[in-house]
Structure 1
Amino acid sequence: MGAVTDVRRAGERYRGGDPAAGIESLYAFSFGPHYDPDNLRFGALVACNEKRLAPGAGFDEHPHSHTEIVTWVVEGELTHRDSTGRTSVIRPGDVQYLSAASGVRHVERNDGEAPLVFLQMWLTPTTPTSAPTYDVVHDLADSTPYAVPRAGATLHVRRLQAGERTEVPGAAHVYVHVVRGEVRLGGEELRSGDAARIMGAEGDVELRAVTGAEVLVWEMSG
């Protein structure tokens, strides 16, 4: 039958946050007060949230459990502190991974002087674990896969030059999010903030950069 692709535009995302506190949020899936029974998840992915924090703004300490959380900074610097004692600053090109397991609390803030934009993606684990784990890879190289085995998922980051092509991984579920630039996927043009949900990809789906572009691609098993 071939791959089935469902394109979701940036303008279709749910809006949230607290603009008065310097927080703006865009949600790709049902999240918080924004509930759509037909848009709860795709594969293991249950959230792909774009957060915009003004300098000095942030999220005070709050809990997570039984969630695999991957964060990608688009611009600015994200300061992370959690209940295990870890503190880190995440910048563009870095991948941050927090496996909440049975429970962890953390703080996320923009302690820098410039606006902060980051994507935070939540995945459901396939196997419950008790101890939280944390990892940061600084300056992740292009085309270097980042595996999240507890969710049966792998993140691929592609930075493409205009005209460059890349094959979408063959997997039961593939989620493509355009961070910046413009790409073509089949007959669809995808721009910054657009996403595509692909089912049944068999290595015959291709992305082509129309302009210079940065794209996140989640490869997820059934």
Structure 2
Amino acid sequence: MEVRRSRDRFRGSEPPAGIESLHAFSFGPHYDPDNLRFGPLIACNEERLAPGAGFDEHPHSHTEIVTWVVTGELTHRDSTGHESRVRPGDVQRLSAAGGVRHVERNDGPDPLVFVQMWLAPEQPGGEPSYEVVPGISDATPYAVPAAGALLHVRRPSAGERVALPDAERVYVHVVRGEVTLEEHRLGPGDSARLTAEANRDLTAGTQAELLVWELGGGHPGT
């Protein structure tokens, strides 16, 4: 098990543009050869956009992009004609496949915070696809079959124990609240990477929200 703290994330900010980004993995100019990926997971970015700020149209390919809004409202538009507004509790997935371009903006009056996770598909290419699952229920798994992955959204109450999946790799990201995993106390933005571990669980110290990835072993990298 490896614990990584929010304070140690790579920071990429554009204050004049109202953008702050915190990267859990090597990203752009922030390069760490020992922190390139965890199985299929190649990015877990915390993005903070001021009202009116956003990422102008940019390309993606051969990537499964899953987004979780923490606060505010995310406006999404892409080159396949999809346009949507993603709110807290919704799971958004964009399969870039052979190539797609999109825009992400905060068109609302309040600050926007979202967590965006990128996964490498098992096979490149194909046709882009997009979906939003509104108001996903606690503990309802969301499958990303192209990457051999399952996302579990958990919202434990204080004192509640949460069993972690028995999988080749498990990635835990704390969105809000505090939890204890063995001797480690994790807070917002902290994460844990578990490899080939079974019968693990964590305990919520407060009301919490967690993103738990169940990842297969078919990808290289740790």
CA offsets per residue over residues 31-79 of structure 1, 9 Å max, x none?
Answer: 0110000000001100000000000000000000000000000000000
Equivalent in the alignment of 2:220? none
Aligned residue among 123, 142, 145 for 2:141: 145
In 1, Cα distance between equivalents of 2:186 and 2:200: 14
Runs of 4+ in 1 over 2 A off after TM superposition: none
Equivalent in the alignment of 1:173? 169
Equivalent in the alignment of 2:211? 216
Equivalent in the alignment of 1:105? 101
In 2, Cα distance between equivalents of 1:112 and 1:97: 21
In 1, Cα distance between equivalents of 2:56 and 2:113: 17
Instruction: Find out whether 1:115 has 2:111 as its counterpart.
Output: yes
Instruction: Find out whether 1:129 has 2:125 as its counterpart.
Output: yes
Equivalent in the alignment of 1:205? 200
In 1, Cα distance between equivalents of 2:147 and 2:186: 26
Is contact 1:48–1:121 with CA below 8 Å preserved after alignment?
A: yes
Please report how far the alpha carbon of residue 138 of structure 1 lies from its aligned counterpart in structure 2 after TM superposition: 0.3
In 1, Cα distance between equivalents of 2:168 and 2:106: 36
Alignment map for 1:52-63 (pairs within 5 Å): 52-63=48-59
Equivalent in the alignment of 1:51? 47
Please report how far the alpha carbon of residue 17 of structure 1 lies from its aligned counterpart in structure 2 after TM superposition: 2.6
Aligned residue among 80, 83, 87 for 2:79: 83
Q: Aligned Cα RMSD in Å? A: 0.6
In 2, Cα distance between equivalents of 1:187 and 1:207: 10
Please report how far the alpha carbon of residue 19 of structure 1 lies from its aligned counterpart in structure 2 after TM superposition: 1.3
Equivalent in the alignment of 2:60? 64
Please report how far the alpha carbon of residue 92 of structure 1 lies from its aligned counterpart in structure 2 after TM superposition: 0.3
Please report how far the alpha carbon of residue 128 of structure 1 lies from its aligned counterpart in structure 2 after TM superposition: 2.2
Please report how far the alpha carbon of residue 129 of structure 1 lies from its aligned counterpart in structure 2 after TM superposition: 3.3
Q: Which moved more, 1:33-42 or 1:126-135?
A: 126-135
**Percent identity of the aligned residues?**
69
Equivalent in the alignment of 1:13? 9
In 2, Cα distance between equivalents of 1:205 and 1:111: 41
Q: Which stretches in structure 1 are left out of the alignment for 5+ residues?
A: none
Aligned to 1:160, the other structure's residue is in SS state coil
Aligned to 2:7, the other structure's residue is in SS state helix
The number of aligned residues is 217
In 2, Cα distance between equivalents of 1:134 and 1:157: 19
In 2, Cα distance between equivalents of 1:19 and 1:97: 28
Alignment-mate amino acid for residue 121 of structure 1: M
CA offsets per residue over residues 4-52 of structure 1, 9 Å max, x none?
Answer: x100000000000311110000000000110000000001100000000
Is contact 1:168–1:201 with CA below 8 Å preserved after alignment?
A: no
Please report how far the alpha carbon of residue 152 of structure 1 lies from its aligned counterpart in structure 2 after TM superposition: 0.5
Alignment-mate amino acid for residue 208 of structure 2: A
Aligned to 2:48, the other structure's residue is in SS state strand
TM-score by length of 2: 0.97
